Structure 1
Amino acid sequence: MAANAAPNGERQRKFLEEEEIITVGGEDIQDGISRCEKSLMGRLLADRLFSRGTMEVALQAIWRHPKGFRVTDHGGNLFQFYFDEEMDVTRIERGTPWLFKNFILNLKRWKMHNPITDADFTYVPIWIQFWELPEHYKIRELGRKLGSAMGEVLDVDLFQVRGRENRIIKARINLDITKLLRRLTQIVGPTNKAIEVALKYEHIEIFCNYCGYLGHETRNCSKQLDDSLRGDVGEEGWGEWLKSKQVGRRKQGSKENTNSNTSSADERSQRKEKLPTLVNLLKEMAELSMDEIRGKKVEDDIKDGSNQNKEKANQSGVVLEISNENSSARNHCQKKMIDGGAVEGLDGMKNLEFCEGSNQSEQPSMKKTKLKQLARK
């Protein structure tokens, strides 16, 4: 009896040890939390599995080599992407969705108290374009109403595009990927006439032309396979026309694009115009007359107060008077610079020296002429 009691007591002690709960504080895992706070969870909507190494090498180039980038594979095409810089995390998160091998990569920010599940990747932010609307229907309010019928509206605006329609309405929507892609929508206006609105999706590449779902190609469609086994294969109802070939540009005066990876052409042109160029600087220098340049020097010399500087100032006064009489030569030089505004670098500086030198070369002869006139008086 005693021999059997000893093993049973030891077994119970081991069970109690296994059931003991060890408390872990935030300071114990602070390093791990800090590392994960600068990470993104990503689900690849693909019908085949990809390895961690493949993802890391490809995304390193796609995301422009973010500092400290590395990837962890959680299985089932669920990955965690780590970064050193918060700026890279924000930039890449706002660019969602990304394409990897033409499959959609949906990203979410890592959160300690909200573990990532498959349900978090059910919705993907997608830009949807509404085509073939009458012109008087192309307003933001209608775009928001059309978008809300398809999901949560994140943004809506008018965009300029190329083609028969020069502007369209676009809405950025949290699209439910568990539902098939809608090909069109219908609206009825005040005249009770039905209008079909064609839909186009941005940044989607691989979807099934047979069943209309994202994430797999037609050749790997299980529904088509089942229909073929029953001898009841139907026609493909989806096609390339659902993919948008252009993203357009926001109409002037609209609010800024929420996507940080892109900027409007208007903003880029404004930034470009603000940049000083060598040609503009040379034009400004050419418009500044020699009288103003030398006049500033005369004022400085007079303030000095020495006899030598006063004498120089008096001599400069003669030069200023002569330069006014010779303004036609200076204006000719300035005009030559402005008309030939493509001068750059040293060539531009040579033109400046040429203009200034043309006045100086005529100064001695003009001085003698002026002195003779004074002597005759």
Structure 2
Amino acid sequence: MDSDDISSLCASLSLNSLDGPVQLLDDRMKCEAINRLSLCLVGKILSNKWVNRDAFMRVIGKIWQVKKGLDIESVSGNIFTFHFKDAWDMNKVILGSPWSFDNALMVLEKPVGMGTIESLKFCQADFWVQIHKIPILCMTKEIGRFLGGMIGEVLDIDGGNSGDCEGKFMRVRIRMDITKSLKRCLLVDIMGDGTETIMILRYERLPNHCFKCGMVYHNTAKCSEESSRILVNGKEEHPFGLWLRVSGSQRKSNYQCQRGPFFPSAKIGPSWKVDKGIVEGNPVNSAGIEISTALKISDTMNDIIDRVRTLMTEPDHSQKQGTIDGDRGRLGKDDVMIQDSGSQPKL
């Protein structure tokens, strides 16, 4: 019997049985548990192989630069609980996401109330999304919130140093449903005259995603879709290419607290890769950074628009699950490795 069946069995038992009666939890114990839960995160590494748990727990606190301490517990499979000593440390980790470990995205959930580990879905992740080819007319926070709502739940809008949107692109913090394909562009009729404006989306610190179907739950090698390359300007292209990825912006985060501002750094960034070599068939440099992804992409925005116009004719892809890869890091190969236990964790 699984845990749900056992719970149903227990619920149907008479209170007069040897397992009863119902006991009332002491208020003091309940308050202490609620306070502890308020400083807790649960994370799942989206990989179909077991992560080296000891190595992960040894290095993640250093990567996060936790100041006040962190207790980590391995729950099951690639699921971990993180108990922080300080709310500022926890919020810094949340706002610094997305995080990846050993080429796999780590999804963080904030447990609340009476929820259990089994009830957590791990289906949402927060990304900074850059909106390119956006008209100057649309560079306002109000329009930014409208455009961001076309992608997912809007958490924040980067107003730059002046407080207003500025620069060549708009930057929006989005909570995305990662069980769906990535959006590649936004189509907007700005003036109401029937003329469509195509705005290109690029995702900061996006781990290796599937070039075929646009999922971040698995990489291209694990995709069950048939090859769907399309001829664009004389070149064969995947529907969801490297151009969707972009490094972290140097703009400031809007997070402020009594200890001062926290600025997630693209240099120390939250995405980590542990091996040198090849990522999705692309070379990486001595620091483990994928060269093509680390901003040696030579495509211009006009080239990307041409691609999007062609690729937009492709049908939507159904939801899929699998594995993904991350992008970079500075950990030793022996520190972070995959353990093959013979069976695969459930995603």
TM-score (norm 2): 0.58
Give the aligned partner of residue 196 of structure 2. 194
Give the aligned partner of residue 242 of structure 1. 244
Q: Secondary structure at the match of 2:130?
A: strand
Deviations, residues 281-333 of structure 1 (Å, cap 9, x unaligned): xxxxxxxxxxxxxxxxxxxxxxxxxxxxxxxxxxxxxxxxxxxxxxxxxxxxx
Deviations, residues 263-296 of structure 1 (Å, cap 9, x unaligned): 79xxxxxxxxxxxxxxxxxxxxxxxxxxxxxxxx
Identity among equivalent positions (%) equals 27
Give the aligned partner of residue 91 of structure 1. 92
Deviations, residues 6-28 of structure 1 (Å, cap 9, x unaligned): xxxxxxxxx93234444432435
Distance 1:34 1:195 in 2: 49
Give the aligned partner of residue 365 of structure 1. none
Distance 1:145 1:115 in 2: 34
Distance 1:246 1:31 in 2: 38
Structure 2: runs of 5+ lacking an equivalent: 1-15, 230-237, 266-347
Q: Secondary structure at the match of 1:186?
A: strand
Distance 1:67 1:198 in 2: 40
One-letter amino acid matched to 2:175: N
Give the aligned partner of residue 217 of structure 1. 219
- Equivalent pairs counted in the alignment come to 233
Q: Structure 1 residue 66: deviation in Å? A: 4.2
Q: Structure 1 residue 258: deviation in Å? A: 3.0
Q: Secondary structure at the match of 1:53?
A: helix
Q: Secondary structure at the match of 2:17?
A: helix
Change (3 A) 1:38 1:154: closer
Q: Structure 1 residue 34: deviation in Å? A: 4.9
Aligned CA RMSD, in angstroms, stands at 3.0
- Mapping of 1:1-377 within 5 angstroms? 16-28=17-29, 34-116=35-117, 120-159=121-160, 166-190=167-191, 191-221=193-223, 223-224=224-225, 227=226, 233-235=227-229, 236-249=238-251, 257-258=254-255, 261-262=262-263
Q: Structure 1 residue 184: deviation in Å? A: 1.3
One-letter amino acid matched to 2:213: C
Deviations, residues 233-259 of structure 1 (Å, cap 9, x unaligned): 322311211011341426xxxxx7137
One-letter amino acid matched to 1:45: L
Structure 1: runs of 5+ lacking an equivalent: 1-14, 228-232, 251-255, 265-377
Distance 1:26 1:64 in 2: 35
Q: Structure 1 residue 80: deviation in Å? A: 0.3
Task: Tell me, yes or no, if the aligned pair for 2:179 and 2:217 is still in contact at 8 Å.
Answer: no
Q: Secondary structure at the match of 1:234?
A: coil
Q: Structure 1 residue 120: deviation in Å? A: 5.0
Structure having the larger proportion of residues in strand: 2
Distance 1:49 1:123 in 2: 21
Distance 1:37 1:135 in 2: 42
Q: Secondary structure at the match of 2:55?
A: helix
Greater relative contact order, per chain length (Cα 8 Å cut-off, separation 6+): 2
Q: Secondary structure at the match of 1:47?
A: coil
One-letter amino acid matched to 1:244: V
Distance 1:114 1:91 in 2: 24
Distance 1:207 1:47 in 2: 15
Deviations, residues 115-166 of structure 1 (Å, cap 9, x unaligned): 4555553222211111112333333232221111122111224559xxxx94
Change (3 A) 1:92 1:197: same
Distance 1:177 1:247 in 2: 22
Structure having the larger proportion of residues in helix: 1
Task: Tell me, yes or no, if the aligned pair for 2:41 and 2:110 is still in contact at 8 Å.
Answer: yes
One-letter amino acid matched to 1:242: L
Change (3 A) 1:248 1:69: closer
Distance 2:248 2:36 in 1: 38
Distance 2:40 2:240 in 1: 36
One-letter amino acid matched to 2:228: G
Distance 2:123 2:29 in 1: 34
Give the aligned partner of residue 349 of structure 1. none
Change (3 A) 1:167 1:159: farther
Q: Structure 1 residue 39: deviation in Å? A: 2.2
Q: Secondary structure at the match of 1:46?
A: coil
One-letter amino acid matched to 1:237: P
TM-score (norm 1): 0.54
Change (3 A) 1:83 1:140: closer
Q: Structure 1 residue 73: deviation in Å? A: 1.9
